[in-house]
Amino acid sequence: MAIQTAEGWLLDVSHDYGTSEINLLIKLRDGRVLSFKQKLKELAFYILPKSHSAAEDLHQQLSRNDQVIKKIFWDDKYIDLADRNKTQLIGIVLESIQSQDYQKFIKKLGTDSRVRSLFNTELSVIQQFIYNQLKIAPTSKVRVEYEEEKLLFISKVDDGQDIAPPPFKIMHVRIGDDNKNDEIIFKVRLENGTPVVFNGLSYESFVSCIKENEPDIAIIYEDNQYDYDIVSSIDDIITKYCNQIIVIHSHDTVDDISFVEIIEKARFSYLPMKLASKYGMLRLIDSRITYELLQRDFVVPKRQSISKHHEQIRTLNDIVEMDKAGMIISPEIGLHENVAVLDFNDEYANIITGHNISYEALSDDTSIVDKQTALLPSIVQELIERRVHLKQFLKGQQSDSILYPNCEARLDALKQILVCIYGTSGSIWNRYSNVHVFEEINRRARQILLQTKDIVQGAGFELIYADTDAVFLKKKDATRKDYEEIMNELVRETGLQMTLDFHYKFLVLLYIEPDEKMEAKKHYFGLTYGKQLITRGIDTRRHDSPAFIKEFQRALLSKLFDCQSSTEVLTTGYKNALEYITQNIDKLMNGEVQIIDLVISKLLRQNIEKYRSLFPHVAAAIRLNVSGVIANRGDSIQYVHTDLNHTDPLYRITPAKLLTSGEYDREKYLDMLLDSAEAVLSIFGFNRSMFGFEKKFKHWWDEIYQQREREIGTARTEL
């Protein structure tokens, strides 16, 4: 048969346990899946002896152990990030690294008095193959040359940073149970499809669904409550008709995971999707660093080997000066007019690349890091460039575009990776960590914020709030062009890219709670010049607020801001807002609100029996189960407050599916409405007592304080 060439995507890399064979799956454009077996080359680990004499003695002794050792040799490798000189090591290739003999051999070497350190002993067969032979991240676009079932050549193809995920057919499978009949149920959903529920493992329709769709990847959400036999049976059924299974422990998530998030993690870490979805972010970062180091002729120490550069002995003054996080400039609480928000794009990541901050640095002198070979900046730069590309693409897309959610999910995944790279740079659990790196990033971020403050204030702008990487500016009569000019000056002076996120006509910075004079982080609302209402940390952003409360608060803010100036907001706008509150109180208390608009949705995050408190959504789930409508962990429970004073807490609410009338607890929803109004208007002096209702205590200590004030007042009267 002639040699064939094809393009596709690297679907999976797996290993047949007990052998040296690796399985590669390639999904082609035409939908076919090619399978190739590859032979694993020699797998070596390395020994650093304690001395030259110990090295000679050890090499001589190991050379005689030909039953376990396939090959022994001398090799020069880098062993320390900060040391640019190679060290002579003893390299060993074993007959097999899967046997118990291998584990015993490694353990014995680890306790040998002649051995200082062991390297590369924690790399799995899959890692060894991908890092040293394949050198292509799983899910990448590839070109292959093959003859029948023999792979002749494989190379990575530049996919132009495609936004759409590879055309893998995905199926989500959730395992649940029918509490009433003690029967296992399955929720099966194809990507972007609606779930289909099947009862019973042997139910023919369940098997037929798997067989008919033949997914490339089945993502199975398993719970520890099911025994091994059940889980194994499920895996066996799906494996017959599926190319790859990804197992997600369902206690980690109640929502279906984002497939493009798995793609980004796999490509970043150079791991198969099965491992990329299983591992935590620290391990994914470790995997990528390991890959990069192996390409640079380094060897990898054991995970337990804490970097000697993790933290150095320092004076108290040094600790006080350096051991600080990012800086926040407290918001000026209240109403502001003509405010622009300037946001540093991926500030910490750009600080790493711009100032060449890397694990190799030993002290405050970062100049020792070679700009061409610095480890951390090279990894971060790739992520930054990809995020820039995705952001540019997103700007040209409509929100209802098919690719829009894919692009957003990819951006979120990359942001998560970048945040964790920064956050773990000084972590003791990061084997390459360096506390100085973490502190240096924060120090420069603080300097940049202070520099920004000086520049904007020097130009006549008022800095009313700053949250690490975003600054809120205002200046009377300033135009958008004025804000863009000061932004461009900041870019020139700081060397960091910025964007003008929002230009507010009106902006209100809030307290954490209406009754407490404490300032909040990202707790505000405003109206842009483009008539866009932006809210952070209030009811319109809460997923569990009923539609009536969300719409009420949104409309309330629209009434407040339907003005030409801040002075008008404080007078006419505020008056209109109070009138709107009155109208909605009447509407609510007269029973004119549709019951469907009062439904509250809350996620059941664990099985009912695990809850120790009877929260409203738990009570609703119990009533659903009693009625025969099964509510399982991960379900969205919908309910309405119907009688808060009922003696039985189960009947203070009614599940939406069991509603038989339009009656609701008017006092409860009135309380929610007034809470919502206070959350946004208390800054203007609003309180429910203005409508004749008793002031609500947000915390028990508020009531104690007020009681204490009454007692003091009584005592003074008596005196």
Integer Cα distance of 606 and 383 in angstroms: 35
- Summarize pLDDT for 633-642 with one digit per residue, the tens: 778 899 999 9
Averaged pLDDT, 56-67: 86
Report yes or no: 500 and 325 within 8 Å, Cβ to Cβ.
no
Lowest mean pLDDT among 263-277, 401-415, 504-518: 504-518
Say which DSSP state 78 is in. Answer: B
In this prediction, residue 36 carries a pLDDT of: 94
In this prediction, residue 579 carries a pLDDT of: 96
In this prediction, residue 176 carries a pLDDT of: 67
b/e sequence 193-219, b meaning 16+ C-beta within 10 Å: eeeeebeebeeeebbebbeebebbbbb
Scan for tokens 């790739």, then name that residue.
382
Integer Cα distance of 87 and 73 in angstroms: 14
- Summarize pLDDT for 361-406 with one digit per residue, the tens: 755 554 456 666 789 999 999 999 999 999 888 888 888 888 888 8
Which amino acid does the sequence have at 44? A
The answer for residues whose C-beta is within 8 angstroms of residue 75's C-beta and 6 or more apart is: 44, 46, 88, 89, 90, 91
- Summarize pLDDT for 347-364 with one digit per residue, the tens: 999 999 999 999 887 555
Integer Cα distance of 458 and 449 in angstroms: 14
Structure tokens, 96: 């097999």
Averaged pLDDT, 659-674: 93
Fold designation for 44-132: Alpha-Beta Plaits (3.30.70)
Alpha helices, DSSP H, located in 342-374: 347-354
pLDDT of 161 > 90? The answer is: no
- Summarize pLDDT for 82-138 with one digit per residue, the tens: 788 999 999 998 776 666 667 788 888 989 999 999 999 989 889 999 999 999 999
pLDDT of 446 > 50? The answer is: yes
In this prediction, residue 518 carries a pLDDT of: 45
Rounded (10°) CA dihedral 316, 320, 325, 331: 160
Structure tokens, 567: 């002075």
Which amino acid does the sequence have at 640? V
In this prediction, residue 202 carries a pLDDT of: 56
Angle between helices 547-561 and 574-589 in degrees, nearest 10? 160
Indicate the average pLDDT of the chain.
85
Report yes or no: 470 and 328 within 8 Å, Cβ to Cβ.
no
pLDDT of 700 > 50? The answer is: no
Question: CA 73 → CA 50, 59, 88, distances in Å?
Answer: 17, 8, 10
Fold designation for 170-279: Nucleotidyltransferase; domain 5 (3.30.420)
Fold designation for 322-528: Palm domain of DNA polymerase (3.90.1600)
Q: What is the rounded end-to-end Cα distance, in angstroms, of the chain?
A: 109
Q: Where are the domains of the chain?
A: 4-40+142-156, 44-132, 170-279, 322-528, 538-593+670-702, 595-663
pLDDT of 332 > 80? The answer is: yes
b/e sequence 430-453, b meaning 16+ C-beta within 10 Å: bbbbbbbbbbbbbbbbeebbeebb
Quote the pTM value.
0.81
In this prediction, residue 97 carries a pLDDT of: 60
CATH homologous superfamily for the domain 595-663: B family DNA polymerase, thumb domain, alpha/beta motif (3.40.1820.20)
